[in-house]
Amino acid sequence: MKSNEYNTKSELPIMEHFFTIQGEGFHSGRAAYFIRIAGCDVGCVWCDVKESWDANEHELMSIQTIVDYVSSSNTDFCVITGGEPAMYDLTQLTKELKSKGIELAIETSGCYPLVGNIDWYCFSPKKFKPPHEQSYQIADELKVVISHPSDFDWAESHAQKVSDNCRLYIQTEWSKQERFLPIIIEYVKKNPKWKISLQTHKYMNIP
């Protein structure tokens, strides 16, 4: 599959969209409108939104309709996620949202080059498909999910490639948190360049 193969100029396959609280990473605790774009070919075995993988199973929504939903919430912050949102040309969507004065973040595996205007690039690399080199150059936030002891060294290998200004987070895979959270806590105490990201939205039982 080529980068941005699913490009559309006026509509996108949307699995869901909703106004909530960002639960993890740098912007944790901040009110945010989430746009979950369907379609993903990364195939993370522990993905908690596997229903987002097949874009054909979800409604095509016009970009204008999406923008209307977001702007009607009166939010000042929008997170574009997936699936794998960077599979798509996001130029028009990001242009329209930014024209409303909305700050934009993307959560991506970095497997595809970004096409669009984003304020905050959250780069969460996965072992199942290598990231594009652009991801290291533009990442504002590196967030690595820990689900195996070897993931700590893997996280460090990515941290060496991002800029000095990139914020570093490690986050336990939700189903393995009892095992790995204590290990992560000790790791961060010994390696303070890292911070812990928790999926606080799951603790709060919100989307």
Report the chain's mean pLDDT, rounded to a whole number.
Answer: 91
Find all residues with CB under 8 Å of 39, minimum gap 6, and list them: 6, 13, 52, 53, 54, 55, 82, 83, 84, 87, 88
* Other beta carbons within 10 Å of 185: 11
Instruction: Please write the tens of the pLDDT for every residue from 93-112.
Output: 999 999 999 999 999 999 99
For residue 131, the model assigns a pLDDT of: 95
Q: Residue 31's closest CA among 42, 19, 43? A: 19
CA nearest 109: which of 148, 141, 135?
Answer: 135
Categorise residue 204: left if φ over 0, alpha if ψ from -120 to 50, beta otherwise. Answer: alpha
Question: For 18-35, how does the pLDDT look when each residue is reduced to its tens digit (9 = 90+)?
Answer: 999 999 999 999 999 999
Match 């790791």 to its residue by tokens. Answer: 187
Is 80 exceeded by the pLDDT of residue 4? no
HSE on the CB side for 161, CA within 13 Å?
A: 17
Residue 168, classed as helix, strand or coil, is strand
- Return the SS3 of 38: coil
Domain 11-203: CATH superfamily, name plus number: Aldolase class I (3.20.20.70)
Q: What is the pTM of this model?
A: 0.91
Burial 130-150 (b: 16+ CB within 10 A, else e): ebbeebbeebbbbbbbbbeee
* 144 strand-pairing partners: 170
DSSP string, 42-71: S--TT-S-GGGS-GGGSEEEEHHHHHHHHH
Of 22, 2, 14, 25, residue with least CA distance to 63: 14
Note if the bond before 83 is cis, omega within 30 degrees.
yes
- Is the Cβ–Cβ distance between 118 and 106 less than 8 Å? yes
199 confidence band (pLDDT: 50, 70, 90): confident
From CA 14, how far away is CA 171, in angstroms rounded? 26
Across 24-38, 45-59, 121-135, 183-197, least confident range? 45-59
- pLDDT for 81 equals 95
pLDDT band at 203 (very low <50, low <70, confident <90, very high): low
pLDDT value at position 42? Answer: 87
